[in-house]
Structure 1
Amino acid sequence: MYDFNFAPVLAAFDQLAIGAWLTVRLSCAAMLIGLVVSIFCSWGKTSGPKILRAVIDGYIEIIRNTPFLVQIFFIYFGMPSLGLRLSPNSAALLALVVNFGAYGTEIIRAGIESIHKGQVEAGWALGLSRAQIFRYIIMKPALRTVYPALTSQFIYLMLNTSVVSVISADDLTAAGNDLQSATFASFEVYITVTLIYLALSVGFSALFYAIEKMTFKYPLSR
Protein backbone atom coordinates (compact mmCIF):
# COMPACT_ATOMS: atom_id res chain seq x y z
CA MET A 1 0.00 0.00 0.00
CA TYR A 2 1.30 3.42 -0.98
CA ASP A 3 1.58 5.95 1.83
CA PHE A 4 0.48 9.30 0.40
CA ASN A 5 2.44 12.21 1.81
CA PHE A 6 1.71 15.69 0.49
CA ALA A 7 3.66 17.44 3.26
CA PRO A 8 6.86 17.92 1.16
CA VAL A 9 4.79 19.29 -1.72
CA LEU A 10 2.92 21.74 0.50
CA ALA A 11 6.17 22.82 2.12
CA ALA A 12 7.63 23.69 -1.28
CA PHE A 13 4.42 24.91 -2.90
CA ASP A 14 5.94 28.36 -3.43
CA GLN A 15 8.37 26.71 -5.84
CA LEU A 16 5.45 25.38 -7.89
CA ALA A 17 3.69 28.76 -7.67
CA ILE A 18 6.76 30.47 -9.13
CA GLY A 19 6.85 27.84 -11.88
CA ALA A 20 3.17 28.46 -12.64
CA TRP A 21 3.80 32.21 -12.85
CA LEU A 22 6.71 31.63 -15.25
CA THR A 23 4.43 29.42 -17.37
CA VAL A 24 1.83 32.19 -17.54
CA ARG A 25 4.44 34.80 -18.46
CA LEU A 26 5.96 32.59 -21.14
CA SER A 27 2.55 31.73 -22.58
CA CYS A 28 1.32 35.34 -22.68
CA ALA A 29 4.53 36.63 -24.26
CA ALA A 30 4.45 33.87 -26.87
CA MET A 31 0.81 34.55 -27.68
CA LEU A 32 1.24 38.32 -28.04
CA ILE A 33 4.27 38.02 -30.31
CA GLY A 34 2.76 35.04 -32.12
CA LEU A 35 -0.42 37.01 -32.74
CA VAL A 36 1.58 39.73 -34.49
CA VAL A 37 3.27 37.04 -36.61
CA SER A 38 -0.12 35.48 -37.36
CA ILE A 39 -1.69 38.77 -38.48
CA PHE A 40 1.24 39.57 -40.77
CA CYS A 41 1.31 36.08 -42.27
CA SER A 42 -2.47 36.00 -42.73
CA TRP A 43 -2.26 39.33 -44.56
CA GLY A 44 0.55 37.92 -46.70
CA LYS A 45 -1.50 34.83 -47.55
CA THR A 46 -4.58 36.80 -48.54
CA SER A 47 -3.14 39.99 -50.03
CA GLY A 48 0.61 39.59 -50.44
CA PRO A 49 2.64 38.84 -53.57
CA LYS A 50 2.90 35.29 -54.85
CA ILE A 51 6.46 34.72 -53.60
CA LEU A 52 5.46 35.82 -50.08
CA ARG A 53 2.44 33.50 -50.13
CA ALA A 54 4.70 30.61 -51.13
CA VAL A 55 7.11 31.32 -48.26
CA ILE A 56 4.29 31.56 -45.73
CA ASP A 57 2.70 28.35 -47.03
CA GLY A 58 6.02 26.56 -46.63
CA TYR A 59 6.44 27.87 -43.07
CA ILE A 60 2.94 26.74 -42.11
CA GLU A 61 3.32 23.29 -43.62
CA ILE A 62 6.67 22.68 -41.91
CA ILE A 63 5.42 23.73 -38.47
CA ARG A 64 2.04 21.99 -38.64
CA ASN A 65 3.55 18.72 -39.83
CA THR A 66 6.46 18.37 -37.41
CA PRO A 67 6.40 17.65 -33.65
CA PHE A 68 6.72 20.61 -31.32
CA LEU A 69 9.46 18.78 -29.41
CA VAL A 70 11.55 18.49 -32.58
CA GLN A 71 11.05 22.21 -33.24
CA ILE A 72 12.39 23.02 -29.77
CA PHE A 73 15.40 20.75 -30.25
CA PHE A 74 16.14 22.31 -33.64
CA ILE A 75 16.08 25.84 -32.23
CA TYR A 76 18.03 25.08 -29.06
CA PHE A 77 20.48 22.43 -30.25
CA GLY A 78 20.50 22.94 -34.03
CA MET A 79 20.64 26.71 -34.43
CA PRO A 80 24.00 27.06 -32.58
CA SER A 81 25.57 25.27 -35.56
CA LEU A 82 24.54 28.31 -37.61
CA GLY A 83 25.92 30.70 -35.01
CA LEU A 84 22.69 31.47 -33.15
CA ARG A 85 22.93 30.52 -29.48
CA LEU A 86 19.93 31.14 -27.27
CA SER A 87 19.30 30.66 -23.58
CA PRO A 88 16.78 27.94 -22.68
CA ASN A 89 14.07 30.50 -21.92
CA SER A 90 14.71 32.45 -25.12
CA ALA A 91 14.72 29.27 -27.20
CA ALA A 92 11.47 28.17 -25.57
CA LEU A 93 9.85 31.54 -26.30
CA LEU A 94 11.01 31.48 -29.94
CA ALA A 95 9.74 27.92 -30.43
CA LEU A 96 6.35 28.80 -28.97
CA VAL A 97 6.05 31.94 -31.09
CA VAL A 98 6.97 30.06 -34.27
CA ASN A 99 4.50 27.29 -33.43
CA PHE A 100 1.64 29.62 -32.49
CA GLY A 101 2.31 31.80 -35.53
CA ALA A 102 1.72 28.93 -37.94
CA TYR A 103 -1.55 27.78 -36.37
CA GLY A 104 -2.71 31.34 -35.71
CA THR A 105 -2.12 32.30 -39.33
CA GLU A 106 -4.57 29.69 -40.57
CA ILE A 107 -7.13 30.67 -37.94
CA ILE A 108 -6.98 34.39 -38.78
CA ARG A 109 -6.88 33.68 -42.53
CA ALA A 110 -10.15 31.80 -42.20
CA GLY A 111 -11.63 34.81 -40.41
CA ILE A 112 -10.40 37.22 -43.08
CA GLU A 113 -11.86 35.11 -45.87
CA SER A 114 -15.21 35.08 -44.06
CA ILE A 115 -15.57 38.85 -44.65
CA HIS A 116 -17.96 39.57 -47.51
CA LYS A 117 -16.28 41.20 -50.50
CA GLY A 118 -19.03 43.82 -50.58
CA GLN A 119 -17.73 45.29 -47.33
CA VAL A 120 -14.26 45.69 -48.81
CA GLU A 121 -15.69 47.28 -51.95
CA ALA A 122 -17.64 49.71 -49.76
CA GLY A 123 -14.37 50.66 -48.08
CA TRP A 124 -12.79 51.41 -51.44
CA ALA A 125 -15.86 53.47 -52.38
CA LEU A 126 -15.44 55.54 -49.20
CA GLY A 127 -11.85 56.31 -50.15
CA LEU A 128 -10.19 54.27 -47.41
CA SER A 129 -6.61 53.17 -47.90
CA ARG A 130 -5.59 49.52 -48.11
CA ALA A 131 -4.24 49.66 -44.54
CA GLN A 132 -7.46 51.25 -43.23
CA ILE A 133 -9.61 48.66 -44.97
CA PHE A 134 -7.51 45.85 -43.50
CA ARG A 135 -7.60 47.37 -40.01
CA TYR A 136 -11.19 48.58 -39.72
CA ILE A 137 -13.23 46.51 -42.16
CA ILE A 138 -11.43 43.19 -42.22
CA MET A 139 -9.49 42.59 -39.02
CA LYS A 140 -12.01 43.56 -36.33
CA PRO A 141 -14.91 41.42 -37.65
CA ALA A 142 -12.43 38.65 -38.50
CA LEU A 143 -11.01 38.64 -34.98
CA ARG A 144 -14.50 38.40 -33.55
CA THR A 145 -15.20 35.40 -35.76
CA VAL A 146 -11.99 33.56 -34.84
CA TYR A 147 -11.75 34.71 -31.20
CA PRO A 148 -12.92 31.36 -29.73
CA ALA A 149 -10.42 29.46 -31.89
CA LEU A 150 -7.58 31.80 -30.92
CA THR A 151 -8.33 31.46 -27.21
CA SER A 152 -8.44 27.68 -27.53
CA GLN A 153 -5.08 27.85 -29.29
CA PHE A 154 -3.71 29.89 -26.38
CA ILE A 155 -4.81 27.21 -23.90
CA TYR A 156 -3.14 24.60 -26.08
CA LEU A 157 -0.02 26.78 -26.24
CA MET A 158 0.06 27.13 -22.46
CA LEU A 159 -0.20 23.37 -22.00
CA ASN A 160 2.54 22.93 -24.61
CA THR A 161 4.93 24.92 -22.42
CA SER A 162 5.32 21.77 -20.34
CA VAL A 163 7.54 20.43 -23.14
CA VAL A 164 10.10 23.25 -22.82
CA SER A 165 11.38 21.74 -19.58
CA VAL A 166 13.38 19.27 -21.71
CA ILE A 167 15.83 22.09 -22.53
CA SER A 168 15.89 23.28 -18.90
CA ALA A 169 13.63 26.27 -19.52
CA ASP A 170 11.88 27.62 -16.43
CA ASP A 171 8.22 26.64 -16.21
CA LEU A 172 5.78 24.75 -14.01
CA THR A 173 6.82 21.31 -15.24
CA ALA A 174 10.50 22.12 -14.66
CA ALA A 175 9.66 23.22 -11.11
CA GLY A 176 7.73 19.99 -10.60
CA ASN A 177 10.66 17.94 -11.89
CA ASP A 178 13.04 19.68 -9.50
CA LEU A 179 10.69 19.13 -6.58
CA GLN A 180 10.21 15.47 -7.48
CA SER A 181 13.98 14.97 -7.61
CA ALA A 182 14.32 16.49 -4.16
CA THR A 183 11.40 14.71 -2.47
CA PHE A 184 10.89 11.52 -4.55
CA ALA A 185 7.16 12.08 -4.03
CA SER A 186 6.35 11.49 -7.69
CA PHE A 187 2.60 10.97 -7.39
CA GLU A 188 2.05 13.86 -5.03
CA VAL A 189 4.14 16.27 -7.08
CA TYR A 190 2.69 15.47 -10.47
CA ILE A 191 -0.93 15.30 -9.34
CA THR A 192 -0.41 18.78 -7.86
CA VAL A 193 1.18 19.99 -11.11
CA THR A 194 -1.76 18.50 -13.04
CA LEU A 195 -4.27 20.32 -10.86
CA ILE A 196 -2.39 23.61 -11.30
CA TYR A 197 -2.45 23.24 -15.09
CA LEU A 198 -6.16 22.44 -14.87
CA ALA A 199 -6.79 25.52 -12.73
CA LEU A 200 -4.85 27.71 -15.17
CA SER A 201 -6.80 26.36 -18.14
CA VAL A 202 -10.18 26.84 -16.47
CA GLY A 203 -9.20 30.28 -15.20
CA PHE A 204 -8.05 31.53 -18.59
CA SER A 205 -11.13 30.05 -20.27
CA ALA A 206 -13.35 32.03 -17.89
CA LEU A 207 -11.27 35.18 -18.44
CA PHE A 208 -11.47 34.87 -22.23
CA TYR A 209 -15.21 34.31 -22.03
CA ALA A 210 -15.62 37.49 -19.99
CA ILE A 211 -13.46 39.45 -22.44
CA GLU A 212 -15.55 38.14 -25.33
CA LYS A 213 -18.76 39.32 -23.66
CA MET A 214 -17.33 42.79 -22.99
CA THR A 215 -15.48 43.33 -26.27
CA PHE A 216 -17.71 41.74 -28.90
CA LYS A 217 -21.16 42.80 -27.73
CA TYR A 218 -22.24 44.42 -30.98
CA PRO A 219 -24.16 42.26 -33.49
CA LEU A 220 -22.41 40.86 -36.54
CA SER A 221 -25.17 42.03 -38.88
CA ARG A 222 -28.52 43.73 -38.88
Structure 2
Amino acid sequence: MNYTLDFGPVIDALPSLLAGCLGTIGLAIGGMVLAIVIGIGGVILRDSRIRQIRWLVLAFVEIIRNTPFLVQIFFIYFALPLAGLRLDPTPTAIIALGINGGAYAIEIIRGGVQSINRGQIEAGLALGLRKAQVFRLIVLKPALRAIFPSLASQFVLLTLTTSVASAISAYELTSVGQRVESESFRSFEVFGTMTLFYLIISWLLMRVFGMITTRYFSYPVK
Protein backbone atom coordinates (compact mmCIF):
# COMPACT_ATOMS: atom_id res chain seq x y z
CA MET A 1 0.00 0.00 0.00
CA ASN A 2 1.48 3.33 -1.08
CA TYR A 3 0.55 6.32 1.01
CA THR A 4 2.10 9.74 0.48
CA LEU A 5 2.09 12.10 3.42
CA ASP A 6 0.56 15.46 2.68
CA PHE A 7 0.31 17.96 5.54
CA GLY A 8 -0.93 20.69 3.22
CA PRO A 9 -4.59 20.42 4.36
CA VAL A 10 -3.44 20.39 7.98
CA ILE A 11 -1.35 23.52 7.49
CA ASP A 12 -4.27 25.22 5.74
CA ALA A 13 -6.58 24.27 8.63
CA LEU A 14 -4.04 25.19 11.33
CA PRO A 15 -5.90 28.36 12.45
CA SER A 16 -9.08 26.30 12.92
CA LEU A 17 -7.19 23.57 14.79
CA LEU A 18 -5.56 26.11 17.09
CA ALA A 19 -8.96 27.68 17.72
CA GLY A 20 -10.18 24.18 18.55
CA CYS A 21 -7.34 23.91 21.08
CA LEU A 22 -8.60 27.11 22.72
CA GLY A 23 -12.10 25.63 22.74
CA THR A 24 -10.74 22.51 24.47
CA ILE A 25 -8.95 24.61 27.09
CA GLY A 26 -12.08 26.70 27.63
CA LEU A 27 -14.22 23.61 28.19
CA ALA A 28 -11.59 22.16 30.51
CA ILE A 29 -11.31 25.32 32.63
CA GLY A 30 -15.09 25.65 32.88
CA GLY A 31 -15.39 21.98 33.85
CA MET A 32 -12.57 22.27 36.41
CA VAL A 33 -14.12 25.30 38.13
CA LEU A 34 -17.50 23.61 38.34
CA ALA A 35 -15.89 20.36 39.53
CA ILE A 36 -14.10 22.17 42.36
CA VAL A 37 -17.34 23.85 43.44
CA ILE A 38 -19.17 20.51 43.37
CA GLY A 39 -16.28 18.79 45.11
CA ILE A 40 -16.07 21.21 48.03
CA GLY A 41 -19.86 21.48 48.33
CA GLY A 42 -20.21 17.71 48.19
CA VAL A 43 -17.65 17.23 50.97
CA ILE A 44 -19.54 19.69 53.20
CA LEU A 45 -22.88 18.00 52.48
CA ARG A 46 -21.31 14.55 52.86
CA ASP A 47 -20.80 15.30 56.55
CA SER A 48 -24.28 16.76 57.03
CA ARG A 49 -26.29 15.70 60.08
CA ILE A 50 -29.24 15.07 57.78
CA ARG A 51 -29.03 11.45 56.69
CA GLN A 52 -30.99 11.96 53.46
CA ILE A 53 -28.51 14.60 52.26
CA ARG A 54 -25.60 12.26 52.95
CA TRP A 55 -27.37 9.55 50.97
CA LEU A 56 -27.95 11.91 48.04
CA VAL A 57 -24.24 12.79 47.90
CA LEU A 58 -23.26 9.12 48.08
CA ALA A 59 -25.77 8.25 45.35
CA PHE A 60 -24.49 11.09 43.16
CA VAL A 61 -20.88 9.92 43.50
CA GLU A 62 -21.70 6.28 42.79
CA ILE A 63 -23.94 7.02 39.81
CA ILE A 64 -21.46 9.37 38.14
CA ARG A 65 -18.37 7.26 38.80
CA ASN A 66 -20.05 4.08 37.54
CA THR A 67 -21.58 5.35 34.30
CA PRO A 68 -19.78 6.35 31.08
CA PHE A 69 -19.17 10.04 30.47
CA LEU A 70 -20.67 9.69 26.99
CA VAL A 71 -23.95 8.51 28.50
CA GLN A 72 -23.90 11.41 30.96
CA ILE A 73 -23.37 14.06 28.29
CA PHE A 74 -26.03 12.45 26.06
CA PHE A 75 -28.47 12.46 28.97
CA ILE A 76 -27.96 16.18 29.59
CA TYR A 77 -28.10 17.09 25.90
CA PHE A 78 -30.85 14.79 24.62
CA ALA A 79 -32.93 13.73 27.65
CA LEU A 80 -33.23 16.95 29.65
CA PRO A 81 -34.96 18.82 26.76
CA LEU A 82 -37.85 16.39 27.26
CA ALA A 83 -38.20 17.97 30.72
CA GLY A 84 -38.08 21.47 29.24
CA LEU A 85 -34.37 22.16 29.83
CA ARG A 86 -32.54 22.69 26.54
CA LEU A 87 -28.86 23.69 26.47
CA ASP A 88 -26.42 24.49 23.69
CA PRO A 89 -23.51 22.07 23.14
CA THR A 90 -20.86 24.18 24.91
CA PRO A 91 -22.78 24.75 28.19
CA THR A 92 -23.82 21.11 28.08
CA ALA A 93 -20.20 19.99 27.78
CA ILE A 94 -19.06 22.25 30.64
CA ILE A 95 -21.86 21.05 32.93
CA ALA A 96 -21.23 17.40 32.07
CA LEU A 97 -17.48 17.79 32.63
CA GLY A 98 -18.09 19.60 35.91
CA ILE A 99 -20.49 16.95 37.17
CA ASN A 100 -18.18 14.12 36.13
CA GLY A 101 -15.08 15.74 37.60
CA GLY A 102 -16.99 16.84 40.68
CA ALA A 103 -17.91 13.27 41.61
CA TYR A 104 -14.24 12.31 41.63
CA ALA A 105 -13.25 15.58 43.33
CA ILE A 106 -15.63 14.85 46.22
CA GLU A 107 -13.81 11.64 47.04
CA ILE A 108 -10.35 13.14 46.53
CA ILE A 109 -11.06 16.22 48.67
CA ARG A 110 -12.83 14.13 51.30
CA GLY A 111 -9.72 11.95 51.60
CA GLY A 112 -7.63 15.06 52.18
CA VAL A 113 -10.06 16.45 54.75
CA GLN A 114 -10.03 13.19 56.68
CA SER A 115 -6.24 13.34 56.83
CA ILE A 116 -6.42 16.51 58.96
CA ASN A 117 -5.81 15.93 62.65
CA ARG A 118 -9.07 16.21 64.57
CA GLY A 119 -7.26 18.11 67.31
CA GLN A 120 -6.60 21.03 64.95
CA ILE A 121 -10.30 21.31 64.18
CA GLU A 122 -11.22 21.20 67.87
CA ALA A 123 -8.58 23.85 68.60
CA GLY A 124 -10.10 26.13 65.98
CA LEU A 125 -13.57 25.70 67.44
CA ALA A 126 -12.17 26.34 70.93
CA LEU A 127 -10.74 29.66 69.69
CA GLY A 128 -14.24 30.75 68.72
CA LEU A 129 -14.04 30.20 64.97
CA ARG A 130 -17.22 29.26 63.18
CA LYS A 131 -17.41 25.90 61.42
CA ALA A 132 -17.14 27.58 58.02
CA GLN A 133 -14.00 29.43 59.13
CA VAL A 134 -12.49 26.25 60.55
CA PHE A 135 -13.14 24.45 57.27
CA ARG A 136 -11.70 27.27 55.18
CA LEU A 137 -8.70 28.23 57.33
CA ILE A 138 -7.70 25.02 59.10
CA VAL A 139 -8.99 22.15 56.98
CA LEU A 140 -9.15 23.17 53.33
CA LYS A 141 -5.64 24.45 52.57
CA PRO A 142 -3.72 21.60 54.29
CA ALA A 143 -6.10 19.15 52.66
CA LEU A 144 -5.55 20.71 49.24
CA ARG A 145 -1.79 20.53 49.80
CA ALA A 146 -2.09 16.80 50.40
CA ILE A 147 -4.43 16.04 47.51
CA PHE A 148 -3.38 18.59 44.89
CA PRO A 149 -1.25 16.12 42.86
CA SER A 150 -4.21 13.71 42.63
CA LEU A 151 -6.58 16.57 41.85
CA ALA A 152 -4.23 17.89 39.14
CA SER A 153 -4.01 14.46 37.51
CA GLN A 154 -7.78 14.19 37.57
CA PHE A 155 -8.11 17.58 35.88
CA VAL A 156 -5.63 16.62 33.16
CA LEU A 157 -7.76 13.53 32.54
CA LEU A 158 -10.84 15.78 32.49
CA THR A 159 -9.16 17.94 29.84
CA LEU A 160 -8.59 14.91 27.63
CA THR A 161 -12.21 13.86 28.24
CA THR A 162 -13.34 17.05 26.48
CA SER A 163 -12.81 15.15 23.23
CA VAL A 164 -16.02 13.22 23.98
CA ALA A 165 -17.92 16.51 23.69
CA SER A 166 -17.43 16.24 19.92
CA ALA A 167 -20.30 13.73 20.04
CA ILE A 168 -22.71 16.65 20.60
CA SER A 169 -20.77 18.99 18.26
CA ALA A 170 -19.30 21.16 21.02
CA TYR A 171 -16.57 23.37 19.64
CA GLU A 172 -13.24 21.81 20.66
CA LEU A 173 -10.19 20.22 19.06
CA THR A 174 -11.63 16.80 18.22
CA SER A 175 -14.75 18.18 16.54
CA VAL A 176 -12.64 20.58 14.47
CA GLY A 177 -10.21 17.79 13.59
CA GLN A 178 -13.02 15.50 12.50
CA ARG A 179 -14.36 18.19 10.20
CA VAL A 180 -10.91 18.79 8.68
CA GLU A 181 -10.42 15.04 8.18
CA SER A 182 -13.83 14.63 6.53
CA GLU A 183 -12.99 17.42 4.09
CA SER A 184 -9.40 16.41 3.31
CA PHE A 185 -9.41 12.61 3.86
CA ARG A 186 -5.91 12.95 5.38
CA SER A 187 -6.60 10.83 8.46
CA PHE A 188 -3.01 10.14 9.48
CA GLU A 189 -1.92 13.75 9.17
CA VAL A 190 -4.97 15.24 10.91
CA PHE A 191 -5.20 12.81 13.81
CA GLY A 192 -1.43 12.77 14.21
CA THR A 193 -1.46 16.56 14.54
CA MET A 194 -4.35 16.37 17.00
CA THR A 195 -2.41 13.87 19.09
CA LEU A 196 0.52 16.28 19.22
CA PHE A 197 -1.76 19.14 20.26
CA TYR A 198 -3.30 17.09 23.07
CA LEU A 199 0.18 16.17 24.30
CA ILE A 200 1.17 19.84 24.32
CA ILE A 201 -2.01 20.85 26.16
CA SER A 202 -1.46 18.14 28.79
CA TRP A 203 2.17 19.14 29.22
CA LEU A 204 1.26 22.81 29.64
CA LEU A 205 -1.40 21.95 32.22
CA MET A 206 1.06 19.87 34.23
CA ARG A 207 3.52 22.77 34.13
CA VAL A 208 0.82 25.17 35.37
CA PHE A 209 -0.22 22.77 38.13
CA GLY A 210 3.43 22.33 39.06
CA MET A 211 3.86 26.09 39.43
CA ILE A 212 0.70 26.30 41.53
CA THR A 213 2.07 23.56 43.78
CA THR A 214 5.37 25.40 44.18
CA ARG A 215 3.70 28.74 44.81
CA TYR A 216 0.85 27.79 47.12
CA PHE A 217 1.19 24.22 48.41
CA SER A 218 4.90 23.56 48.92
CA TYR A 219 6.22 23.30 52.46
CA PRO A 220 8.59 26.05 53.66
CA VAL A 221 12.26 25.25 53.25
CA LYS A 222 13.97 25.01 56.62
SS of 1:86 mapped into structure 2: coil
| Unmatched runs of 5 consecutive residues or more in structure 1 | none
What is the CA distance between 1:148 and its match in structure 2?
A: 0.5
1:78 aligns with 2:79: yes
Change (3 A) 1:193 1:121: same
What is the CA distance between 1:210 and its match in structure 2?
A: 1.4
User: Map of 1:41-60 to 2, 5 A cutoff?
Assistant: 41-60=42-61
1:128 aligns with 2:129: yes
Measure, in 1, the Cα distance between the counterparts of 2:41 and 2:215: 26
1:65 aligns with 2:66: yes
Measure, in 1, the Cα distance between the counterparts of 2:217 and 2:12: 43
Tell me which residue corresponds to 2:28: 27
What is the CA distance between 1:160 and its match in structure 2?
A: 0.2
CA deviations on 1:38-84 (whole Å, 9 max, x unpaired) are 10001111345221110000000000000000001111111111111
Assess if the C-alpha contact under 8 Å between 1:46 and 1:109 holds in 2.
no
CA deviations on 1:178-217 (whole Å, 9 max, x unpaired) are 1111111111000000000001001111111111011123
CA deviations on 1:11-54 (whole Å, 9 max, x unpaired) are 11011000000100110011012101110001111345221110
| Unmatched runs of 5 consecutive residues or more in structure 2 | none
Letter in 2 for 1:208: F
Tell me which residue corresponds to 1:198: 199
Tell me which residue corresponds to 1:151: 152
User: Map of 1:104-119 to 2, 5 A cutoff?
Assistant: 104-119=105-120
Assess if the C-alpha contact under 8 Å between 1:38 and 1:102 holds in 2.
yes
Runs of at least 4 residues off by over 6 Å? none
Measure, in 1, the Cα distance between the counterparts of 2:141 and 2:77: 36
SS of 1:188 mapped into structure 2: helix
Measure, in 2, the Cα distance between the counterparts of 1:123 and 1:133: 6
Superposition TM-score, scaled by structure 1 size: 0.96
Measure, in 2, the Cα distance between the counterparts of 1:70 and 1:156: 17
Tell me which residue corresponds to 2:168: 167
Change (3 A) 1:23 1:197: same
Measure, in 2, the Cα distance between the counterparts of 1:197 and 1:204: 11
Report percent identity of matched pairs.
47
Measure, in 2, the Cα distance between the counterparts of 1:74 and 1:195: 31
Assess if the C-alpha contact under 8 Å between 2:145 and 2:218 holds in 1.
no
Measure, in 2, the Cα distance between the counterparts of 1:106 and 1:48: 19
Superposition TM-score, scaled by structure 2 size: 0.96
